[in-house]
Amino acid sequence: MAESGDRAIYSRTMTMPPALRADAHAVFLDFDGTLVEFDDDPRQVAIAPAALERLAALQRSHSGALAIVSGRRIVDLDLFLAPLTFAAAGVHGLERRVVAGGETLMLAGPEALDTVRAALAAPLAAMPGLSLEDKGTALVIHYRTAPKLSAPALEMMQSAIADRSDLVLMQGEGIVEVHPAGMDKGRAVADLMQEKVFAGRIPVYVGDDVTDEFALAYVREAGGVSVKIGKAQSAAEFRLEDVTALHRWLGVRAR
């Protein structure tokens, strides 16, 4: 077992996670790259109808202890998962919905990023291969369609948040994101585990990206089931090869 910073890095062997237990597990699932395949246009992703039906069945069998944990806004997750709603942590936990159909709570406001928006306007206009997604509580530069611009995208965001210790920069699959400090997916899952619907259960987390590592590390340390999608380095104990493998593990029936 090797070390990377403060986090342990484990084998990349595809180790199948145990079956979900309706009476014991609290299930937390990332969205992009986990439940759905990536798309160059994030607005065009789609979840298979059979997978959506299976999520609804899991939500019922687990007494509501199933949440979607994503960098996306909860309102956008609802569009992709319609007509269903789920407990959720959006924008890496800066948005929270404890129960399906419940109120969405915002832990930060968009005004914290006003100076960053202004600083990014001119450089983004001069580099059309990059695009900005404004989530209100987070700003994301996308370079998936222009991978050679990954370094300029990072430098641009770093310059925009210079001297802002209250903000955190994160890199993910084809993106550079900035949002208020003090929150990540691990903290979001830990907070949700204190809520009545999840409390007393064993946490299960499945995710594919660097931003999921916070949650995977938390769940493993908490004695839960940590599942990495893909072959990238991870603190997760278990692995699944891809989105299709996750669907099979969840029990989604092919059509």
Write the DSSP string, the chain.
-EEETTEEE---S--PPPPP-TTTEEEEE--BTTTB---SSGGG----HHHHHHHHHHHHHTTT-EEEE-SS-HHHHHHHHTT---EEEEGGGTEEESSTT-PPEESS-GGGGHHHHHHHHHHHHT-TT-EEEE-SS-EEEE-TT-GGGHHHHHHHHHHHTTT-TTEEEEEETTEEEEEESS--HHHHHHHHTTSTTTTTSEEEEEE-SGGGHHHHHHHHHTT-EEEEESSS--S-SEEESSHHHHHHHHTPPP-
Region 2-7+17-107+183-250: CATH code: 3.40.50.1000
The pTM assigned to this predicted structure is 0.85
Mean pLDDT throughout 187-202? Answer: 98
* Residue 14: pLDDT band with limits 50, 70, 90: confident
Residue 36 has pLDDT above 60, yes or no: yes
- Residues of the chain above pLDDT 90, percent: 85
Q: For residue range 38-53, what is the model confidence (pLDDT) as tens digits?
A: 887 788 899 999 999 9
Mean pLDDT throughout 112-120? Answer: 95
Is the fold of 2-7+17-107+183-250 the same as that of 110-180? no
Q: For residue range 245-255, what is the model confidence (pLDDT) as tens digits?
A: 999 999 998 66
Can you read off the two tokens belonging to residue 159? 């310059």
Residue 6 has pLDDT above 50, yes or no: no
Can you read off the two tokens belonging to residue 75? 């309102």
- Predicted confidence at residue 203, as pLDDT, reads 98
* Residue 12: pLDDT band with limits 50, 70, 90: low
- Predicted confidence at residue 66, as pLDDT, reads 98
Q: How far apart are CA 25 and CA 12, in angstroms?
A: 24
**Which option is the CATH number for 110-180: 3.30.70.1020, 3.30.70.1150, 3.40.50.300, 1.10.240.10?**
3.30.70.1020
In this structure, are residues 120 and 131 in contact, taking their beta carbons and an 8 Å threshold? no
Residue 105 has pLDDT above 60, yes or no: yes
Catalytic positions are 30
**Sequence ranges of the domains in the chain:** 2-7+17-107+183-250, 110-180
